[in-house]
Amino acid sequence: MAEKFIIHGQKKLTGQVDISGSKNAAGAILSATLSTEEECTIDNLPLVEDVLNLLKILEKMGTKISWQTDRMIKIRSGPDVNPDKIDPELVSRSRIPVLLIGSLLSRFPSFKIPQPGGDRIGLRPISTHLAALEKMGIEISQEGSFYHIRKKGHLSGSEIILQEFSVTATENLMMVAVTAEGETIIKGAAAEPQVQDLGKLLINMGAKIEGLGTHTLFIEGGQKLRGASHKIIPDLLEAGTFLVAGAISQGEVEVRGVIPSHLDIFLAKLEEMGLNFEKNQDSIRVNSTPALKSVKIQALPYPGFPTDLLPVVVPLLTQAQGKSLVHDPLYESRFNYIQELRKMGADIEVVDPHRAFVFGKSSLSGLRIESWDIRAGASLIIAGLVAKGETTIENIYQIDRGYERIEEKFKKLGADIRRVSV
């Protein structure tokens, strides 16, 4: 049943909010458990649609999952797991299942996997994955909507230079390289916190990996992976979303259960805008800031400004004095949410598919708008929080893919937001 959010804006947010586990880390972590027949224990799972969808895919393949608590599972992909039972319809809902390629290659000589789905933010081909995997002795062909993947022999370690800092390509290569023969060196590797989190799990499973957190990884292959226990890192994107929401409402919000260093560049930009906030060991508190300044923000691979937080911060820029520039060189359709913000009264000029000027300060007004992807939906919620009158956001399944009952967390902070069945 379709659902929508109805928001009555201009409520000051105050209080504390606890951050869930990282959706992006969970996708790689759960996929990696396929690399062993032994049982793994995974804690701090975010209960978002993309993660629950991946669990369904694994179960249909034969993986056994036992819930220990609300957020902890025991998961075992024993000898009966069969990649022929991958459900194409479930795979089409999210991009996360692309990470099954690496873990399945560690166990099966050949399989086919449907092309993944995901956000409508532009072309997201997996050519980087395929070129790197072929260099390790893997044959890949495409037939219709399926990739057919086959080992040509024993997987061999190699020196691989990625053409882009692709998170999922790096993660797939890590899972393959661990069981390949010899050493693999990955240059141009992504360094995002979720990549580091996957590396920590693989090391606990018996892998030998050096260079986590840098753009060059050294992986000694030939390791037989065992079961392990792991707690997923907090979601830096959810944390950033609530920090911006607290700031735009002129409230005082403490975001708890975070790793502040994961947000260094993001926080530096907020500071440049003049925002008042305090960092503690595992929390960040944003305080009321009456006057915000315009800034230039470019999305870059970690440790740069996260591309997924660019849509989230744009509504805040509409409340800053002057002209801000936002630049996302990664995705040519990332700005689809801007047309919705403009309907609300935002003064934003899209220069080209990758750059936009945001002019402030603008007065936003509520109306009926649509969420096109996860972070666009978060952007529209934030805009609705500061807008006059009533904002209705449709297609909120997209938001649920990446945020766990986001409206309940906002309600606890004092927002007037409710979920309504259509």
Q: What pLDDT, on the 0 to 100 scale, is given for residue 154?
A: 83
For residues 80-105, give the mean pLDDT. Answer: 92
Position of tokens 């025991």?
Answer: 74
Q: What percent of the chain has pLDDT over 70?
A: 98
- What does the domain layout of the chain look like in residue ranges? 3-20+234-421, 23-231
Q: What pLDDT, on the 0 to 100 scale, is given for residue 119?
A: 42
Whether the per-residue pLDDT at 399 is higher than 90: the answer is yes
Helix ranges (DSSP H) in 100-187:
100-105, 127-135, 167-179
When pLDDT is cut at 50, 70 and 90, the band that residue 122 belongs to is: very low
Q: What pLDDT, on the 0 to 100 scale, is given for residue 99?
A: 93
Task: Kindly report the three-state secondary structure assignment for every residue of 356-420.
Answer: EEEEECCCCECCEEECCCHHHHHHHHHHHHHCECEEEEECCHHHHCCCCCHHHHHHHCCCEEEEE
pLDDT digits (tens, 9 = 90+) for 320-342: 999 999 999 887 777 889 999 99
When pLDDT is cut at 50, 70 and 90, the band that residue 354 belongs to is: very high
Q: What pLDDT, on the 0 to 100 scale, is given for residue 124?
A: 45
Lowest mean pLDDT among 81-85, 104-108, 154-158, 379-383: 154-158
Q: What pLDDT, on the 0 to 100 scale, is given for residue 286?
A: 97
When pLDDT is cut at 50, 70 and 90, the band that residue 115 belongs to is: confident
CATH architecture of 3-20+234-421: Alpha-beta prism (3.65)
For residues 393-412, give the mean pLDDT. Answer: 96
For residues 269-294, give the mean pLDDT. Answer: 95
3-class secondary-structure state, position 199: helix
Q: What pLDDT, on the 0 to 100 scale, is given for residue 131?
A: 83
When pLDDT is cut at 50, 70 and 90, the band that residue 133 belongs to is: confident
Asked whether the beta carbons of 285 and 254 are under 8 A apart, the reply is: yes
End-to-end CA distance of the chain: give it in Å, rounded: 7
CATH architecture of 23-231: Alpha-beta prism (3.65)
The widest CA-to-CA distance across the chain, in whole angstroms, is: 64
Mean pLDDT of the chain: 94
Q: What pLDDT, on the 0 to 100 scale, is given for residue 277?
A: 95
Same fold, 3-20+234-421 and 23-231: yes
Q: Which residue has the higher pLDDT, 258 or 92?
A: 258
Q: What pLDDT, on the 0 to 100 scale, is given for residue 134?
A: 86
Whether the per-residue pLDDT at 291 is higher than 80: the answer is yes
Cα–Cα distance measured from residue 410 to residue 242, given in angstroms and rounded to the nearest whole number: 8
pLDDT digits (tens, 9 = 90+) for 360-374: 999 999 999 999 889
Number of Cβ within a 10 Å radius of residue 142: 11
Q: What pLDDT, on the 0 to 100 scale, is given for residue 121?
A: 39
Strand 216-220 versus strand 208-210 pairing type: antiparallel
Whether the per-residue pLDDT at 268 is higher than 60: the answer is yes
When pLDDT is cut at 50, 70 and 90, the band that residue 111 belongs to is: very high
For residues 292-298, give the mean pLDDT. Answer: 97
DSSP single-letter state for residue 115: P
Q: What pLDDT, on the 0 to 100 scale, is given for residue 136?
A: 87
pLDDT digits (tens, 9 = 90+) for 42-75: 999 999 999 999 999 999 999 999 999 999 999 9
pLDDT digits (tens, 9 = 90+) for 229-260: 999 999 999 999 999 999 999 999 999 999 99
For residues 116-136, give the mean pLDDT. Answer: 66
Reported as half-sphere exposure (CB side, CA atoms, 13 A), residue 308 has a value of 23
Q: Which residue has the higher pLDDT, 122 or 153?
A: 153
Q: What pLDDT, on the 0 to 100 scale, is given for residue 123?
A: 40
